[in-house]
């Protein structure tokens, strides 16, 4: 598993995935900015009435709170439990 060819292959795959994710994020942000410029921007808050709340996994979410943990957890499970370098767990140790 630590053979140079395997390390290079996995690094190439991770780089490709990161590049593709960056391009998707860039296009999504550009679309969001264009929609805002053109007055077509809609948010979840536009659909909520006073007193409504948003639940994520059964827990209320505060305005401005960002939820990305599920994506990270799912990606870690796909990679066989490997945590990314520089993860929070590493910094605490």
Domain count, the chain: 2
Q: What angle do CA 30, 78, 3 make, to 5 degrees?
A: 105
34 and 57 co-located in one domain: no
57 and 89 co-located in one domain: yes
Q: Tens digit of pLDDT per residue, the chain (93 long)?
A: 789 999 999 999 999 999 999 999 999 999 989 998 998 877 767 787 888 888 878 888 887 776 665 555 566 666 665 555 554 544 444
33 and 57 co-located in one domain: no
The per-residue pLDDT for 2 is 87
65 and 32 co-located in one domain: no
The per-residue pLDDT for 10 is 95
Asked if residue 27 lies in contact with residue 21, where contact means CB atoms within 8 angstroms, the answer is no
The per-residue pLDDT for 71 is 56
Range of the domain at 74: 50-93
The per-residue pLDDT for 44 is 67
CA gap 93, 91 in Å, rounded: 6
């Amino acid at each position: 598993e630590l053979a140079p060819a395997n390390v290079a292959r996995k690094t190439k795959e991770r780089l490709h995935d990161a590049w593709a994710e960056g391009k998707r994020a860039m296009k999504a942000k550009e679309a969001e900015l264009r929609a805002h410029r053109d007055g077509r921007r809609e948010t979840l808050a536009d659909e909520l009435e006073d007193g409504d709340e948003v639940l994520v996994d059964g827990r209320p979410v505060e305005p401005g709170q960002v939820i990305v943990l599920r994506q990270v957890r799912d990606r870690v499970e796909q990679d066989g439990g490997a945590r990314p370098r520089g993860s929070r767990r590493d910094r605490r140790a």
